[in-house]
Amino acid sequence: MNLPSGGIRRYVGEILAEAKDPRIEVAIAPPFPFLDQVTAEIRDSGIALAAQNCSAFAEGAHTGEVSAGMLRTMGCRYTIVGHSERRARYGDTDTIVRDKLTAVISEQLVPVLCIGEEESVRLSGGTRPKLAQQLEAVRSERLMTAELILIAYEPVWAIGTGKNATTEMVAEAMQWIGEGIRKLWSEAMGERCRLLYGGSVTPDNASDLASVLLVEGFLVGGASLDARKLLAIHRAM
C-alpha cells in the first residue's frame, strides 16, 4: 500500500508546480483505485500515469484482475511488470511476467520490466546469470514488437531497505543488462530499451546514481511518497 501523506491532490499539485524540466519525464504509479483521481489531476500536464501491475490475461473471467486494456482506458502510459514484491509474494513466475509483458505490449502500453538479484545470489557471484535468465525468460514474439521498454534494474536486497547498490554495482549490472538484451532478445531491441535503477533511491544518493552512464531514470518507491524528496531526486537527474 502506498499513498502520499497529505493526499493525492496536494501531492500531485506539488509535483506539477516544480517538475517542469521537459527533458525529464515523471510518471506517477498509484494503486489501482487511485488511477482515476491521479489521471484527473495530471491532465494536460506532461506527467504520465503508470500502473503497478496488470493481469496476464487480455480478456475472460478473471475476477479481481485488472487488464492492460482497462489500464489503457484509464489513461495509463506505463505499467510496471515483474516487481520483486509481485515475484516473491504473489506468485509472479517468469512465465506470468512474460504473459503480462505480452499483454501490456499488445495494448500499446510501455512496460517497466523489473529485474534484479536476491542478496544470496549477489553474494555467490550469480548476478549476471540471474539477470540473463530473467531477460531470457520473458522473450516472446510480441516482445520483439515493442517500440519502447523500460527495464528497471532493482536488486531485491536494495528495495525498501535503505541499502542502495553502489555506482560500481549499478554500472556493471547495466552493462550486463544491455549486453543481455542484444544477445538474448535482439540488436534492434537494444535500441528500444531504456534502463532505470530502483532500490532505496533518495535525494542523497540520486546524483551519484544518475551519473552512471547507462542509467536513464529511476524507479522510486519509499522516497516518492514525499513530494519534496521526489522533486529533489528529479533535480538530481
Interface residue with ligand PGA among 86, 200, 205, 206 (CB under 6 A) is: 200
Strands 193-198 and 27-28, bridge-based pairing: unpaired
3-state secondary structure of 127: helix
Strands 27-28 and 149-153, bridge-based pairing: unpaired
List Cβ neighbours of 218 (8 Å cut-off, separation of 6 or more). Answer: 196, 197, 198, 201, 206, 209, 210, 233, 237
Site size with ligand PGA, rule: CB under 6 A: 12
Q: How far is the CB of 158 from ligand PGA (least distance, A)?
A: 6
198 binds ligand PGA (CB under 6 A): yes
82 binds ligand PGA (CB under 6 A): no
> Catalytic pick from 41, 107, 117, 154?
154
Burial class (CB in 10 A: 0-12, 13-18, 19+), 123: exposed
220 binds ligand PGA (CB under 6 A): yes
Please, which residue, 121 or 219, has the CB nearer to ligand PGA?
219
Q: Whose CA is closest to 112, among 145, 73, 78?
A: 78
* Active-site residue, 41 included: no
Please, which residue, 86 or 183, has the CB nearer to ligand PGA?
86
Element (H, E) at 191: helix 187-192
201 binds ligand PGA (CB under 6 A): yes
Q: How far is the CB of 224 from ligand PGA (least distance, A)?
A: 7
> Secondary structure of the chain: what % helix, strand, coil (to 5)?
50, 15, 40
* Active-site residue, 62 included: no
Residue 148: what are its φ and ψ, rounded to 5°? -150, 130
> Catalytic pick from 41, 83, 107, 117?
83
User: What ranges make up the beta strands (E) of the chain?
Assistant: 27-28, 48-51, 78-81, 110-115, 149-153, 193-198, 217-219
Q: How far is the CB of 28 from ligand PGA (least distance, A)?
A: 14
> x/- string (CB under 6 A) for ligand PGA, residues 130-169?
------------------------x----xx---------
Please, which residue, 101 or 220, has the CB nearer to ligand PGA?
220
Q: Which residues bind ligand PGA (CB under 6 A)?
A: 154, 159-160, 198-201, 219-223
